[in-house]
Amino acid sequence: MNIGEAAAAAGVTAKTIRYYESIGLLRPPPRSTGGYRLYSPEDVHTLRFAGRARDLGFSIDEIGNLLALWRDKRRASADVKRIAIGHIVELEGKIAALQAMVATLRHLARTCHGDGRPDCPILTSLAEPADAGSAHCHPPKRAGRRKKA
């Protein structure tokens, strides 16, 4: 089948498939005489695997590792589980960072009149020096974003 059909069957876009192939995540499929990529039903399985792993937030590298384990019939399930657990930890870190932002924003929004007057603690707090604006709130910023933080 052509790339469009395979993409629809796997729940990803043709664009994504070409991208995954270009970065070496997927092996290049055979081509028709006209140069079209030709996919087998097994390929569709692999594509769906990759797409669903992405939906679960795995990075390209992690998906590559999972794909290798998937292809290896003698894998140990412990290896798979370790990757999954590690990913859970990573996701929870992001969740915590986002929740800290929400908490800070909620606090700021609560103290803002929200009417026609110009004075707004959200704005003044954002411009406050150093950590004065966030110290009374929740330190953990974005996960690993700031180098000097």
Partner DNA sequence: CCTTGACCTTCCCACGGGGGAAGGCTTCAC
Partner DNA sequence: GTGAAGCCTTCCCCCGTGGGAAGGTCAAGG
8 Å CB contact between 46 and 26? yes
Longest dimension (CA), the chain: 70
- Nearer Cβ to DNA (38/76): 38
DSSP the chain: --HHHHHHHHTS-HHHHHHHHHTTSSPPPPB-TTS-B---HHHHHHHHHHHHHHHTT--HHHHHHHHHHHH-TT--HHHHHHHHHHHHHHHHHHHHHHHHHHHHHHHHHHT---SS-S--HHHHHHHSSTTHHHHTS----STT--S--
Binding mask 30-69 for DNA (x = CB under 7 A): -xxxxxxx----------------x--x-xxx--------
Does 16 contact DNA by CB under 7 A?
yes
37's contact among DNA, its own copies, none, with CB below 5 to 8 A by partner kind, is DNA
Minimum Å gap between C-beta 73 and DNA is: 26
Min separation Cβ 65 and its own copies, Å:
12
Q: Decide if residue 28 touches its own copies (CB under 8 A).
A: no
Contact with its own copies (CB under 8 A): which of 23, 38, 105, 135? 105
* 55 token code pair: 């939906």
Decide if residue 73 touches DNA (CB under 7 A).
no
Residues that bind its own copies (CB under 8 A): 11, 13, 45-46, 48-49, 52-53, 55-57, 66, 69-70, 73-78, 80-82, 84-85, 87-88, 91-92, 94-95, 98-99, 101-102, 104-106, 108-109, 112-120, 122-123, 126-130, 133-134, 141-142, 145-148
